[in-house]
Structure formats: structure tokens, C-alpha cells
Amino acid sequence: MKTGFIFLSLFLLASPHFTIGQSNFDIQLDTFSISGLPGIHSFAVARHEGKWLLIGGRRDGMHQKFNSFATSGGNQQIIVVDPESGEVWQRPLAELPDTLAEQLRSTNMEFFQQENLLCFVGGYGRSEVAQNHITYPYLTLIDVGGLVNSVVDGSPLPPHFQQVRDTFFAVTGAQLQVLSDTFFLVGGHRFEGVYSANSGDNQLQFYTNSIRKFTLESTGQGWQVAHKSIVLDELNLHRRDYNLAPQIFQNGERGLVAFAGVFQPGPAALPFQNIVEIGHTGHTPVNGFSQFLVNYHCAKVPVFDAVENEMHTLFFGGMSQYYLNETDSLIRDNRVPFVKTVSRVSRLADGSYTEVPFQTELPYYTGTSAEFVLAAGVPVLENDMIDYEALPDGNNLIGYIVGGIVTPSNQRNPFIANNVGITTANNRVIRVSLIKNMPNATAEPSLDGQFNLGVHVFPNPANEAWKVSLNLPEAGWVRFILQNAEGKIVRQTNLGQQPAGPVQHQIQVGDLLPGTYWLTVNLNGIFMETKTILSH
């Protein structure tokens, strides 16, 4: 879902430089159709013995600015697809109890498949039980293999579901992942009432600004939720409709990365460009790195190269504030249009990040609210990270891009143009192949997303005020955000438009309690965070 307003401006930024990454691979795409597969987007997907299980989401296109998300446009079926045989089976959600069926036809739910268990969290939609549009306060646990078999053979559906009611799970537009059996529900928001693009019309909307953690314990009769906790960060976790992916960090630790998303807190409601590393013990924004080419949730796949100690996350299309034009110049469009870009963000062996667009593009404007489904037999590590070293040289089928929203090439901003009726749910499938160790690799344009704002805070510790000096690499809008140790924003200061070069500002903090604070400087979406200490 999309709220806030977007500036209608266009900027030309510096051209990227060219480099060849250590992991030498390319991407190949081709499109095919499966008879009987409906168009779908914003759904949940699971796999069982080569078949796909599709639940929830929408059958219509992009939502309207007002009175959107009608039940009639929702996906009313549980769908099973065999991509090899081309067979499709469907069973109506009406065969299930009302509270279960309503959640399962929601949109922008969070989901994660752990072996045979599909965890289906929250989602937004029209509830006839509540007589309103709501974010569903449920965690639904699904026996994937049993449900797939029942959809195919016509046996009863209800035995394969367990639903837990808890407002802890009333979240939409977040992402769900697992680290060592602990579930991480990251970001998202809660939306109650009929959707409106005018935020003043919304009955209730608030961002979770958090990582919600929980575990599942088997009782012998089902599952129970345990060890719930919440980590708050009103700046870096104030994002939704974005991408979260598993990560192997430089030191071999397993974690997650929250990639760029929407929307930054504040009246401009611009997309994020910064990324956030998440581990068992906390989360850390990656200072000075900006991801340019993806903002909204899209199909993605993680790839780990153990030999080079590089972690790559591949992104396919979607919507983005930035894109490359025909001369490889980086264009900024604050309307956040649909793009065909295929890109990767790579964590290199030295711990730094880089962003590389592939020369291959999607065949049409799609990718937003699509899902990547692994092909059978692809070698993977935990959390479906592709094991690059286990792939043979040459062309490897790694998976499929399923669903998503499609817009015609002559209208890349249908929401802004109030013309979403021309968009559709994608009913074609894009086959994705990874070509390993290409013999004639050509230079790829690597975007220079590394920035240093020259932030210096003094005195630190301070009693009454901090003096902040910056050295801006480019002119732009500058904002200071101060958070306490609990992640709450306690002060914001807008300096407005500033020229490139040195900038100084004093922040009065004598009225705040002593303790540790985090000061973030935001220049045109570039984030730099500094630890500060206040002592009276």
C-alpha cells in the first residue's frame, strides 16, 4: 500500500563507474505462460515437491487512491501449480471458516516457509466479520504438503490450518524471516479502515517501527507462540513494502539485511535509500551506503559465494526512485516509477557494500509485489540462500518470478497519474537462469553508493549542546534526527537546502535526560549515524 505524497521532480546525478565483481556471473530471463494460472500479486507462496502453493493477494492491478482493496479484487482461491507439467489446481477459500478465509484473501501479508510449515502473518483487507477494512490480528500456520495434496485430490482443507489470534501479529507490509528458529517480523504498519491516499482520511495507521521476535513451540497438538519481544527504532525501522533478505556477514555470522523501502518519517514521505544489518543481538544501519535501484518490494534472491566471501542479493524490477538511462546516467524521479532494472547489492569480502545493475532487464514493467520461487534441485544454504560454489559453470535455472503488478510502457507512474486501471496482475512467469563463470565477462556499471558526510560531533560527551560539523559532498536538504537508547525519536531539526561543503549546526539538548543518544544526519536520503552521550 502507498500513502503520503511524492514530489514531481526529476534530477540527473553523476554517472556510475564501471567494474567487474569478484563473483563472475550474469542473469538470463525468458517468459512463458501456464494455462489456467491467474494474474496475482501481493501474495504468499510456498513449495512442496516441485509444486507451488499460492495463497492470498490480489487479482486486480495497482490499488486506487481511494476506496481500494475491495473483496471482489482479492484472490478467493488456494492455488497449486506444477510448473513442469503446466497443471493448475484451485480450491475456494469459502470452504474454510470465515475468520480463516478472510485473512487468507488479504494482501501484503508476511510469510515464511520453514520446512513443511508456512507461517502466514497479518495482511490487510475487507472483513465482513468486523464490517471494516482491517489488518488481521492473526498468525496462521499451514501444513504445506497436506494442503497441496488436498487441493489436488479434493480432500477437506480445514485440517491443514491452525490460527492464533494476537494483535502482536496485526501487521501488513512487513517482512518475515528466521534466524536460528527465532522469527523476525521486521517493519510494516497497521492500517484500520478504508484505504485513502490522503493520510488525513485514515481512521488508523501507524508504523510498527520495530523488529518483533517470537518462536514457535510444538505442543503435540499443534503450535504455540513463545518468547515474544519487540525492538524499537522509529527511524531505521520505519519502513514497509520493502525487501528483507538473509545475509552471511563478513565474519561468517548469519543475519538479515533490510533494504531500501518506504517511507521515511517526515512530511516529504520519500523512500529510504539506506540499508540496515540485523543480527541476533541488535541491528545497525550501514553508514554512508545508499541503495539506488529498488525501493518497493519485488522478487529477490540471495546468493552466497564462500570462496570470495561475497553475499549477493538480486532484485528484479519493481518501483524505484532511481534508474539508469540509455547513457548509464543515474536519473532520480521522486514519483518512484515502475522500472525494468535487474540489479544486485553485494557485501564484499572487506565488509563494504556495492550495487551493480545487470545489462539484462525485465521484458516488461513488472516485479512490484512479485515473488521469486526457487527451482527444484537448486543447491541452497539455510533460508534458501543459493550456494554459488555448488552451482556448475554455465547456465543454471535457479527459479521463477511469479506474479506482480504490470503497467504499460507508456505509463510508468499510474498511481500519480490516477490511471491505475491500466495496470494488471501478472499471469506470466519469468524463468531466471544464473550464468556462472562467464568466459567473456564485460565491465558492469557499479553504482558508487558510498558517501561520507564528514560528521563530527563535539563535545562528546556534552552537557547542554552538541556542535555538529559536516562536509557535504553535494548540495541538498539536510535533516538531523536524534534518538534515545530505546530507539524513540526525541528531536528533529530541518536545516533546509544547504550547499556542498562545510556546514555547522548546534543542537541544544540540555532539556533531555542523561544517557546515550544516536544522531542521524540525512542528506537527500543519505544516512550517517553517530553515537553521542549526554551527561549533566
Dihedral pair phi/psi, residue 149, rounded to 5°: -65, -40
Domains of the chain are 10-446 (2.120.10.80), 456-534 (2.60.40.4070)
Let me know how many helices (H) and strands (E) the chain has, helices first: 2, 43
In three-state secondary structure terms, 294 is coil
Locus of grid cell 544522531? 519
491 versus 11: the higher-pLDDT residue is: 491
Between vectors from CA 270 to CA 241 and to CA 202, what angle results, nearest 5°? Answer: 65
Alpha carbon dihedral 51, 56, 58, 64, in 10-degree steps, equals: -150
- Do residues 304 and 320 lie in contact, with contact meaning Cβ atoms separated by under 8 Å? no
Q: Which residues fall within 8 angstroms of residue 516, CB to CB, at 6 or more apart?
A: 484, 485, 531, 532, 533, 534
The beta strand positions in 307-393, using DSSP E, are: 310-319, 322-324, 330-333, 338-347, 353-361, 371-374, 386-387
How far apart, in whole angstroms, are the C-alpha atoms of residue 31 and residue 429?
A: 6
Which is nearest to 328 in space by CA: 354, 359, 355?
A: 359
| pLDDT of the residue at 442 | 55
Distance CA 121, CA 185 (A): 9
Q: Is the pLDDT of residue 270 over 90?
A: no
Backbone phi and psi for residue 153, each to the nearest 5 degrees, phi listed first? -95, -5
Is the predicted pLDDT of residue 46 greater than 70, yes or no? yes
* pLDDT recorded at residue 464: 92
Whether omega for the bond prior to residue 459 falls within 30 degrees of 0, making it cis, is yes
DSSP 385-432: -EEGGGSPSEEEEEEEEE--EE--TT-S-TTTTT-GGG-EE--EEEEE
C-alpha to C-alpha distance for 54 and 46, rounded to whole angstroms: 7
b/e 145-157 (16+ beta carbons within 10 angstroms → b): bbbbbbbeeeeeb
Residue 76 pLDDT exceeds 60: yes
pLDDT value of position 21? 46
pLDDT at 156: 98
Q: What percent of the chain has pLDDT over 90?
A: 79
pLDDT at 446: 74
Cβ atoms of 383 and 416 within 8 Å: the answer is no
Q: pLDDT per residue over 94-130, tens digit each?
A: 999 999 999 999 999 999 999 999 999 999 999 999 9
- Classify residue 32 by burial, with Cβ atoms within 10 Å: 0-12, 13-18, 19+: exposed
* Percent of the chain surpassing pLDDT 70: 93
Q: What 3-state class would DSSP assign to 497?
A: strand
Mean pLDDT for 271-298 is 94
pLDDT of residue 3: 35
Burial class (CB in 10 A: 0-12, 13-18, 19+), 49: exposed
**Chain segment 349-400, per-residue pLDDT in tens:** 999 999 999 999 999 999 999 999 999 999 999 999 999 999 999 999 999 9
Indicate whether 14 pLDDT > 60. Answer: no
Question: What is the predicted pLDDT for the residue at 316?
Answer: 98
Q: Are 304 and 313 in contact (CB under 8 A)?
A: no
Residue 440 is predicted with a pLDDT of 62
Give the pLDDT mean for 39-61: 97
Banded pLDDT at 445 (limits 50, 70, 90): low
Nearest 5°: phi and psi at 532?
A: -130, 155
Task: Give me the chain's average pLDDT, please.
Answer: 91
pLDDT of residue 110: 98
SS3 297: coil
* pLDDT of res. 329: 85
Which residue(s) pair with 301 in the sheet? 314
- CA-nearest of 207, 210, 209, 176 to 191 is 207
Residues contacting 249, CB < 8 A, separation 6+: 255, 277, 279, 311, 347, 351
Query: Does the pLDDT value for residue 43 go beyond 70?
Result: yes
The pTM for the full model equals 0.93
Q: What is the mean pLDDT of residues 255-273?
A: 89
Instruction: Calculate mean pLDDT across residues 41-63.
Output: 97
Distance between CA 141 and CA 119 in Å, rounded?
5
Least Cα distance to 477 among 235, 264, 233 occurs for 264
**Residue 118: φ, ψ to 5°:** -100, 120
Q: How far apart are CA 4 and CA 24, in angstroms?
A: 40
Summarize pLDDT for 329-363 with one digit per residue, the tens: 889 898 899 999 999 999 999 999 999 999 999 99
User: Which position has the higher pLDDT, 115 or 63?
Assistant: 115
Give the pLDDT score at 18: 39
pLDDT band at 19 (very low <50, low <70, confident <90, very high): very low
Measured between alpha carbons, how far is 533 from 519 in angstroms, rounded to an integer?
Answer: 10
Span 402-422, average pLDDT: 90
**Residue 265, pLDDT above cutoff 90:** no
pLDDT tens per residue across span 188-202: 999 999 887 776 665
The answer to whether the CB of 306 falls within 8 A of the CB of 389 is yes
| 3-class secondary-structure state, position 73 | helix
How far apart are the C-alpha atoms of 201 and 27, rounded to whole Å? Answer: 44
Alpha-carbon span 318 to 423, nearest angstrom: 13
